[in-house]
Every structure is written in structure tokens, then in C-alpha cells.
Structure 1
Amino acid sequence: MPAVKPRDDRYVESLITWRGIALNVRHCPDWSTSCGIEHIEVISFERLPLPITETGYKSHFIDRDQLAEIGTPVEFVIAWLDHDAESTEWKKAEFESRQLSLF
């Protein structure tokens, strides 16, 4: 039996730039209407690592009320990225990505 593929027409896409990285934030407000669950995808165009994912892609399910408290899906993603960008690991990776390698 083929895998169930989500209907893309349910997603709203927002193109944003975070710290110079182009992102596509996809939001499905009615992923599960009976449970009040929404779906957010974060995709870096060049699949560059982000503080929330090493692969440049992140899928996240969130309760409708929790998202409403934070604001829009884009506001949620930016807050999430900013929060996780404070980690030592991300700061190190960000610093190293700016340095020229001699080897």
C-alpha cells in the first residue's frame, strides 16, 4: 500500500531570511482538526544547518493553543531559532563557518 502523502494545498508558505539564511516556513493549520494539532516545516533553501536541525529540514507538530500564545508560525520559528542559537554548539558552528580554513 502506498504511503499517505500530505495534501500540499493545506500548507501556507512563508519565505523568510534568518541571519542571512533563506528559509521556507510551511504551516498546515489543520493537520489534525480533531486534536487541534498544527504542523510546521522549516526548510533552508540550501539545506544549510540550523540551530534546530543539522540537515536544514525540521518537521514540528504543535498544539493550536500553544502556537496561538506565541503568535504566527513565522514568529514561532524565529523565536525557536533565536533561542537555540544561544547554545554553545551553535555559536561554535556559526563562528567556524565564518572562518577561512587553511587545510
Structure 2
Amino acid sequence: MQPIQTAMTWQGVEISISYKPRWIKSSSISHLEIHSLEPERAPLPVTETGYKSHFFHSDEIFSEMALKQMVEQWLDEAAQSPKWQAYASSQKNQQLMLF
């Protein structure tokens, strides 16, 4: 199992993704990091700061495509929360005020 470093765009935000399988060599604990790159430190549904470190059990070997799909699904699900919906709505209202 090799580490994966990749990037993706989610709702206009460029995100860096780093996946390290078997972060602790004697266990199945893997480590995932996501960073908002552009806009820098842009909030995401799973982090207000644009950075998220997440440990989880995984025996799967992720391909780059599977990793991106997993992160996208995580973000999409988290984006359904009332807190994120309120944030997204406030951002739309701010943009409309600029015109």
C-alpha cells in the first residue's frame, strides 16, 4: 500500500488530499489530510479552517480515483448539515451584495 498525494476541486475550491495507509505500521489505521489550496484556507463542510486530519481504520488499498470519490462523498454528505447550509447561504448573499 503506497501513500497517495492528489488534488481535486469541490464546489469551486481546490483541495489537496494526502492519504497514508497503515499510518501506524502494526495496525490498519490510515491517515487522511485535506487542505483548501484555492481559495487558501477556505472552509469546507468538514473543517472551518480549510485543514482536516482524519484517522480511520482501513484495510482497503485506495486508488487515486477511489480516494477522490471517498473525499467527495464525505464533503457532499457533510454539506447537508444545517451549519454548512447556513454558511453557504451567507456566502451567496455576500456575493450578491457585491453587484
Shared fold per TM-score greater than 0.5: yes
User: How many positions carry a matched residue from both structures?
Assistant: 91
- After the TM superposition, which residues 12-23 of structure 1 pair with which residues of structure 2 at under 5 Å, given as runs? 12-23=4-15
> In the alignment, what sits opposite 1:56?
50
**Taking structure 1 as reference, are residues 88 and 66 closer, same or farther at Cα in structure 2, changes over 3 Å only?**
farther
Distance between the aligned counterparts of 1:24 and 1:63, measured in 2? 21
The one-letter amino acid paired with 2:43 is: P
Distance between the aligned counterparts of 1:78 and 1:98, measured in 2? 21
Distance between the aligned counterparts of 1:37 and 1:13, measured in 2? 17
| Secondary structure class of the residue paired with 1:30 | coil
Q: Structure 2: which 5+ residue stretches go unaligned? A: none
Distance between the aligned counterparts of 2:92 and 2:58, measured in 1? 38
Distance between the aligned counterparts of 2:61 and 2:77, measured in 1? 16
- Out of 79, 84, 87, the position equivalent to 2:81 is 87
TM-score, normalised to structure 2, is 0.80
Distance between the aligned counterparts of 1:85 and 1:66, measured in 2? 25
Identity %: 36
> In the alignment, what sits opposite 1:43?
35
Cα-Cα RMSD: 2.2
Is 1:27 matched with 2:47? no
Deviation digits for residues 32-69 of structure 1 (CA, Å, limit 9, x no counterpart): 2311111000100111111000000000011113786x
